[in-house]
Structure formats: C-alpha cells, structure tokens
Amino acid sequence: MGAGHPRREDRTAGLSLPHRFDAGVGNGTIGLLRVDGASMPTPSKIRVWDLPTRIFHWLLVACVVGAFVTIKVGGLWTEYHMLFGYAVLGLILFRIVWGFVGSSHARFFRFVRGPGAILAYLKGTMPRTPGHNPLGALSVLAMILLLGCQAVTGLFANDDIFTEGPLASRVGKELSDRLTGLHKLDEWPILILLGLHVAAIIWYRLAKKQKLTSAMVTGDAPASEFGPETDSARDTAGTRLLALVIAAIVAAVVYGIVSLRPAGF
C-alpha cells in the first residue's frame, strides 16, 4: 500500500507527459505539457517527499534539538529531555514502518542501494533520481540507527541523582549504568553525523544548486532536475490516513513502554 502509481505517459501529436501527474491531495504539482522541440517548455514539479515524511523530518529536528538543549540545561529540564526522547523514539519507530509502507521515495528498498550504485553515483555516471542518493541513504540509515539507539538506551539510563528512564530500575543499577554510558557515548557520533548532514545540504545548495531543503518543506522539486523516467511520490488522502493510523499505533506503543515505569517513580 502507498506505493507510487505506475508512471503515466501520454503521447499525442508531439505532446508528451513525461512526469507523473497526480501526486494527489495538496500536491501543488500541475502536470504540464512539454511540447517536443517547441518553445513552451513549462516548468513542472514532481512530488519528492510525501507529507508524512516531511512532518516526520521537521518534528525529528525539533525533538532532537529539544533533547540536546534540555539535557544541557539540566535540573528540572531533564524531565523535558525524557519527553523529547520519547517523541524521538516514536518518530524513529514511525519512520521504520514508513520505510516499508510509505510512498515510493520514502521506502528503504528504493533508496538503500549496493556498493555498485554508490560507486556509480560517486563517478557521476548515475542519472539523478528523486529522494536520497545512494550515498546520502547511508547517512539516513546511520541517523535512524544512532538516534534509535539513543532513545532506547535513554529508557534505561539514570543520572545517579533523581532522574532515570522508565525501564532503568527494571534492569538493575549495573546494567542501567552501562546503558547510561552508551547513551553518553552516542552523543558525539550523533553530533558529527548531524554536522555532516547539514554540511551536505549546504554543499548541494552551493556547489550543485540543488534546493534539497525546499523539497523537504514543500514536498516538490522541479521535474527538469531529473531524467524523464522519474515518478512522483504518492501523497494522497489515503496515504496520509495510513500514516495517521501508524502514528497512533506507535504513540500507543511508546505510551505502553513509558507506563512500565514502576509505581512511585
């Protein structure tokens, strides 16, 4: 469910519709005619990121920044650190499910590629396709993995004073301390990865003139940036409803985990 439609192409009297038309509800994409060899090539956009992926991304940014700021401020703010951490856990769980059932460009099978594709991308012999490039895909996987580990180890962490994750007392002090160590150890790899992530976005903007952030905000990118065989991500009321259902289930799972905190804590 949720995969992109098969590419629609209509060829009549020299008119071609090379890019998919109907990315669905809320998609500012207007399928426009390209007249072969004629003088009215009208810009057309394709949907790169569906709305659930975009909401996921910007909520993740807010919650990760929130988790870092609140733990550094410390004191009573540590309670908010845990709340941001729960939100990150939920977001990562959502993204993992969405990576299997979401729209085409959001799917892991679509963007996670082998060494051959990564090499071709580095050599510049691969045509640009919407979504993550084969190298960027690795950093996306790493971010999901590291942030997921951070949220999970946080559940078992303690600060030796009066704050501890909801599962800390269930595993005993020794294991909780070890997982707290991992939780702290993960800080720098995450910061380095995020630094590389933002640097890469800036590099693409300046060196390659690609406005990746605008696609992550509006969902769309100019079709002219891609080859003719490009498809739009499906972003319909149906896919959005599916995302809402998944988000509700994930929220219930996280709430269930947090409720495992022993009474009195």
Chain residues binding ligand HEM by CB under 6 A are 53, 56-57, 60-61, 64-65, 67-68, 71, 81-82, 85-86, 88-89, 95, 106, 132, 136, 140, 143-144, 147, 150-151, 154-155, 157-159, 163-165, 180, 183-184, 187, 194, 197-198, 201, 212-213, 216
Q: Which residues pair with 148 in a beta bridge?
A: none
CB nearer to ligand HEM: give 33 or 258.
258
CB nearer to ligand HEM: give 15 or 199.
199
Least CB distance to ligand HEM at residue 39 (A): 32
Least CB distance to ligand HEM at residue 51 (A): 12
Least CB distance to ligand HEM at residue 187 (A): 4
Least CB distance to ligand HEM at residue 41 (A): 24
Burial of 161 (0-12, 13-18, 19+ CB in 10 A): exposed
CB nearer to ligand HEM: give 33 or 83.
83
| Beta-sheet pairing, 11-12 with 34-35 | unpaired
Nearest to 160 by CA among 173, 179, 171: 173
- The answer to whether 36 and 24 have CB atoms below 8 angstroms apart is no
Nearest to 1 by CA among 254, 240, 263: 240
CB nearer to ligand HEM: give 32 or 200.
200
